[in-house]
Amino acid sequence: MSVDLTITQKGLFKKTLPLTVILGDRLHYGSYDAGWRMEQGKLAENEFTAFLPDSIARGFSVTWNAREKHRVDIRLLSPTSRVEIKEFYAAVGRIMQYWNADLWVEGEKVSFDRWMAGLNDFIDSNTRALHCFCKRINDGESEELTLFSAFWPLTVAKEEALRFEDDPDAFEAWLHEKQSVDAYYVSPRFYQTDAGIIGRYVLKENCRSIFPLTPSVPFGLTDSGTGQQLVCNDYQVDIFSSTEDEIIGKLSFDLFIQRLPSEKITRYDKNNYLIEPLSPGEIQKILGDRYSSL
C-alpha cells in the first residue's frame, strides 16, 4: 500500500522549490537504474527517492525538478519504518511552510493541520499493515512479498514474517541491515543474439555480491520491439577480473551456482543469495577449462 500526496503552490508570484527544503538536514537521495538499484546522489529528470542513510527503509519518491513552481508529488510506501514516516511528514511540513500551498491526499484536499495531526494514526496503520502481510504469509495465504525498498527490492518469506508479525523493531532493523550490507546487488543486462535474447550477470573478483536464486527480467523492463514485458530464458554469468581488468570467462547461470564453494554462499532473502568475495584462485577453479588469461 502507499499514500500519495500532491502539494500545489498558490498565489501569483510563485517560486521554485530548492532540493534542500525537501531533504532537510538528514535525508539523502538517489534514482534507480533499470535493475532497480539505487544510484546515490543521482537526480533523474523529474523524480528521485529520498532516504535516511542511518536507517534505510523503503524510501519515498518525490516528483520534482529544479524549475517546477506549481506542484510536487510525494509517495510513501507502507509498511516502512516509523522513523521514515516521521521524516516523510517533516518533509511535507518543510514544503508547506516554504510554499504558500494546498495539500491533496489521495486526490482529496486536506488542511495542513489535519494532515500533521494524523501522524500517530498513520504510524499505527503502518504497524497494522506490517502485521497483516506477515500474518498472510505465516498462515499460508501468501508465499512471499517483494518490497520495493530504498536501495533495491527485498523479498519477505515465512522465515522473516515469523520475526516481524508482532515486532516492528525487528522489521525496521532488517530493512536497514539488508540495505547497508557492503555488497554489489547484481542485475542482468540483456542482449539480442542470433539465438535470441540472452541475460548476462557479472561477478566481480574479490567483491561481495547479491545474486538471485533464479535469474529473471527486472520488473517493468520491456522489449523495445514489442513494448511488452521482456522475455528471456537464457542467462549466463560473466566473470570480471579486477587484476586483469577484463572478462576472463563465462558460465551458464546454473553451472555457476553449482560450482560455487558452499562456504561462500548464504541466504540473503527469499529470492537472493549473498556470495562472499572470490579470490582469483577460487574463480579459476569455478571456471575450470573456461578460464582464459591474456
Q: How confident is the model at residue 290 (pLDDT cuts 50, 70, 90)?
A: low
Across 153-157, 185-189, 192-196, 266-270, least confident range: 192-196
Q: What is the pLDDT of residue 90?
A: 97
Mean pLDDT of the chain, nearest integer: 92
Q: Given 123, 158, 180, which residue is the final one in a domain?
A: 180
Which range, 182-196, 199-213, 276-290, is most confident? 199-213
Share of the chain above pLDDT 70, in %: 97
Q: Given 121, 156, 180, which residue is the final one in a domain?
A: 180
Q: HSE on the CB side for 5, CA within 13 Å?
A: 25
Count of the separate structural domains present in the chain: 2
* 292 DSSP assignment: -
Q: What is the pLDDT of residue 87?
A: 97
pLDDT digit string (tens) for 138-178? Answer: 999 988 999 999 999 999 999 999 999 999 999 999 999 99
Q: What is the pLDDT of residue 291?
A: 52
Q: Are residues 96 and 148 in the same domain?
A: yes
Q: Are residues 149 and 166 in the same domain?
A: yes
Q: Are residues 211 and 95 in the same domain?
A: no
What domain range is 12 assigned to?
1-180
Q: Are residues 109 and 217 in the same domain?
A: no
pLDDT digit string (tens) for 210-235? Answer: 999 999 887 777 777 677 778 888 89
Q: Are residues 253 and 195 in the same domain?
A: yes
Q: List the one residue out of 290, 284, 241, 242 whose CA is nearest residue 261.
A: 284
In sequence order, what are the beta bridge partners of 39?
A: 31
- CA 3/CA 19 separation, integer angstroms: 21
- CA 2/CA 60 separation, integer angstroms: 10
Q: Is the pTM value of this prediction over 0.75?
A: yes
Q: Are residues 188 and 154 in the same domain?
A: no
Distances 254 to 80, 149, 202, 228, 250 between C-alpha atoms, Å: 34, 27, 14, 26, 12
